[in-house]
Amino acid sequence: MREILSETWTNLRANKLRSFLTMFGIMWGVISIVVLSAMGTGFQAGNQQVLEELGRNIIIIRNGRTSLQAGGARAGRVIRLTYDDVLELKEKSRLIEHISPELMRGAIKTKSAYNTSTLQMSGVWPVYQSMRTIEVDRGRLLSEVDGAEARRVVVIGYEASKQLFAERDPVGAEIRLNGLPYTVVGRIRKKNQDSNYTGRDDERLFVPYETMRKEFPLPGPNDSPDSLSTIIAAPFDSVTTAMIRDFERLNVGIFGLDGRTPLEMEIRQILSRRHEFDPRDVEALSFWNTALESAMFSKMMRAMSQFFLAVSLVTLTLGGIGVMNIMLVAVKERTREIGVRKAIGATARRIQRQFFSEGLMITLASGVLGFLVGAGLCGLVNLAPMPARFAGMMITWNTGVFAVVALAIVGVAASTYPARRAALLPPMEALRYDM
């Protein structure tokens, strides 16, 4: 091994510029793999975090309008969700793990001891908060006891808190909602939310559903005390996984499965009996399935990552060609040496192993340096403030394994031909060779 290292170092020193350029090609290929892969992973993780600010694989069910006749009922009839629909789905659905009703009201006159504002408000069950990633940085969330006792408590959004209390801690303070006193029990952390269906959570209020049903029912002429704005549900993880798998297997656009996944079909099947509409009517209820959005985005990110890796492999292959060239030059320059070594008993296999080892060591040394430089660059980038949709440069074990495997393949491919050519040189011709 020491002899191989010594001869490799001598060969590199004899051709400094060529050696540097060759090793730089390998280094740049590995740096590209590390940096581009880390950037793609960080971008995917950051966007996934923003997507989950709306909710983790939830389905939002809203009122719809029938497009098919059912029994004696005409098409075009409005289907309005009620509290009993939630109870029916909770009891009979095999695919839904969590579910919550949601009552929504806008233009709620909100007054604190310091300021006044007009805000949106939702009445929900406690499980809604975990489904919709409602998390607090002050105080606590709504509890089961709050709902059971219909307490006048409220969790306030981050920006809403700024409007009403400026920099003061709102927890424990009293606010008036349309003149009724409520106690603030929690403040929602600041959310980097770019999608919503009624407004950003930062600017909203959340109270127990039972309290809002009693004091703030929907005011429409066709609404009853049991009418709902939406139903929020979260399927079991296995259901979401199967849905994403079907989406990718069928290779359809995001709207190709809209309203037609097993989850949505089951919901329509259950509620069609209560509202007397055709369960095949995809417009009878309106759905927003965030799992499909997440699947679509993941598909896009995989395509982008594959492109990045292809670019990196091309760069790495070009570096491998450089290694092959420098080894071929080394074979040519050391022809007489090869002849002497063969004349004194060195076998073709030993000569081949010598040049193969040299080429492989050049490749691996360049690759290790490239990986360290790439990791260092990622670390430097992570010291800077990150934008909302970027989680930083994330080097995963997949990246490391891929870089090592790709580097080994390139190193073997780049070293085999020069080593074989050196081993096959006839001793007498090699001794007669003159540069």
**Tens of pLDDT, residues 123-169:** 999 999 999 999 999 999 999 999 999 999 999 999 999 999 999 99
Using the predicted structure, report yes or no on whether residue 378 has a pLDDT greater than 50.
yes
Closest CA to 79 of 92, 61, 60: 61
Identify the residue with better confidence: 156 or 10.
156
Residue 422 Rama label (left phi>0; alpha psi -120 to 50; beta): alpha
Q: Answer yes or no: are the C-beta atoms of 289 and 263 closer than 8 Å.
A: yes
Q: Please give the angle made by the CA atoms of 72, 73 and 74, to the nearest 5 degrees.
A: 115
**Average confidence (pLDDT) over 7-11:** 65
Q: Is the dihedral of CA 333, 336, 341, 342 positive or negative?
A: positive
Residue 195 Rama label (left phi>0; alpha psi -120 to 50; beta): beta
Q: What is the pLDDT of residue 114?
A: 94
Of 87-91, 245-249, 278-282, 428-432, which one has max mean pLDDT? 87-91
d(CA 325, CA 21): 11
**Average confidence (pLDDT) over 358-386:** 84
Q: Answer yes or no: are the C-beta atoms of 388 and 192 closer than 8 Å.
A: yes
pTM: 0.72
Window from 25-29, 39-43, 366-370 with minimum mean pLDDT: 25-29
If DSSP codes are grouped into helix, strand and coil, which group holds residue 231? strand
Q: Answer yes or no: are the C-beta atoms of 286 and 64 closer than 8 Å.
A: yes
d(CA 255, CA 296): 10
**Average confidence (pLDDT) over 20-26:** 74
Identify the residue with better confidence: 274 or 242.
274
Using the predicted structure, report yes or no on whether residue 8 has a pLDDT greater than 70.
no
